[in-house]
Structure 1
Amino acid sequence: MTEKIKFEEEDVFGAMTLDVISKANKFNQWMYQTIKPFCKGNILEIGSGIGNISNFFIHDNFNIFLSDIRANYCLELERKFHTFENFSGTEMINLTDPDFEKNYAKHLQKYDTVFALNVVEHIHNDELAIQNCHKLLAQNGHVIILVPSYQSLFNQFDKELGHYRRYNKTSLTNVFSKSSFEIMHKQYFNFIGIFGWYISGKILKNKTIPKEQMKLYNTLVPIIKIIDKSIFNLMGLSTIIVGKKTL
Structure 2
Amino acid sequence: MDSKHSLTDSLNKISNLQNYNSWIYENIKKGISGRVLEIGCGIGNITDFILKDSQEVCASDIDDSYLKYACKKYKGNKKVKVTKIDIIKPGNKIAKGKYDTAVMLNVLEHIKDEKKAVVNVKNALVKNGKFVILVPAMKSIYGEMDKALGHYKRYNKTELKELLEKNGFKILDIFYLNFAGIIGWYFSGRILKKSCIPDNQAKFFDRYILSFTKPCERLIKPPAGQSIVAIAQKV
TM-score by length of 1: 0.90
**1:91 matched residue in structure 2:** 83
Using the TM superposition, give the Cα deviation of residue 56 of structure 1 relative to its aligned residue in structure 2, in angstroms.
1.6
**2:195 matched residue in structure 1:** 207
Matched, 1:33 2:33: no
1-side partners of 2:69 and 2:22: how far apart?
A: 20
Is the 8 Å Cα contact of residues 191 and 227 (structure 1) preserved in structure 2? no
Using the TM superposition, give the Cα deviation of residue 85 of structure 1 relative to its aligned residue in structure 2, in angstroms.
2.6
Distance 1:83 1:233, change over 3 A: farther
Using the TM superposition, give the Cα deviation of residue 93 of structure 1 relative to its aligned residue in structure 2, in angstroms.
1.1
Using the TM superposition, give the Cα deviation of residue 61 of structure 1 relative to its aligned residue in structure 2, in angstroms.
5.9
Matched, 1:48 2:41: yes
Using the TM superposition, give the Cα deviation of residue 161 of structure 1 relative to its aligned residue in structure 2, in angstroms.
0.3
**1:178 matched residue in structure 2:** 166
**1:4 matched residue in structure 2:** none
Using the TM superposition, give the Cα deviation of residue 136 of structure 1 relative to its aligned residue in structure 2, in angstroms.
0.6
Number of residue pairs matched?
234
**1:3 matched residue in structure 2:** none
Q: Which amino acid aligns with 2:86?
A: N
SS of aligned partner of 1:107: coil
TM-score by length of 2: 0.95
SS of aligned partner of 2:2: helix
**1:133 matched residue in structure 2:** 121
1-side partners of 2:95 and 2:82: how far apart?
A: 12
**2:105 matched residue in structure 1:** 117
**Gaps in structure 1 of 5+ consecutive residues:** 1-7
**Gaps in structure 2 of 5+ consecutive residues:** none
1-side partners of 2:202 and 2:135: how far apart?
A: 19
Is the 8 Å Cα contact of residues 58 and 84 (structure 1) preserved in structure 2? no
Matched, 1:196 2:163: no
Using the TM superposition, give the Cα deviation of residue 74 of structure 1 relative to its aligned residue in structure 2, in angstroms.
0.9
Which residue, 74, 80, 83 being the options, matches 1:81? 74
Question: CA offsets, 1:135-162, max 9 Å, x none?
Answer: 1101110001100001111000000000
2-side partners of 1:47 and 1:22: how far apart?
A: 15
Question: CA offsets, 1:165-221, max 9 Å, x none?
Answer: 000110111211331111111111111011110111111111110111111111122
2-side partners of 1:61 and 1:136: how far apart?
A: 16
Is the 8 Å Cα contact of residues 133 and 231 (structure 2) preserved in structure 1? yes
Give the ranges of 4+ consecutive aligned residues of structure 1 lying more than 4 Å apart after TM superposition: 59-62
1-side partners of 2:216 and 2:52: how far apart?
A: 28
**2:213 matched residue in structure 1:** 224
SS of aligned partner of 2:166: coil
2-side partners of 1:204 and 1:92: how far apart?
A: 36
Using the TM superposition, give the Cα deviation of residue 230 of structure 1 relative to its aligned residue in structure 2, in angstroms.
4.4
Is the 8 Å Cα contact of residues 117 and 146 (structure 1) preserved in structure 2? yes
Q: Which amino acid aligns with 2:42?
A: G
Q: Which amino acid aligns with 1:85?
A: K
2-side partners of 1:119 and 1:230: how far apart?
A: 28
Matched, 1:241 2:230: yes
Using the TM superposition, give the Cα deviation of residue 84 of structure 1 relative to its aligned residue in structure 2, in angstroms.
1.9
Is the 8 Å Cα contact of residues 31 and 231 (structure 2) preserved in structure 1? yes
Distance 1:51 1:237, change over 3 A: same
Is the 8 Å Cα contact of residues 156 and 206 (structure 1) preserved in structure 2? yes
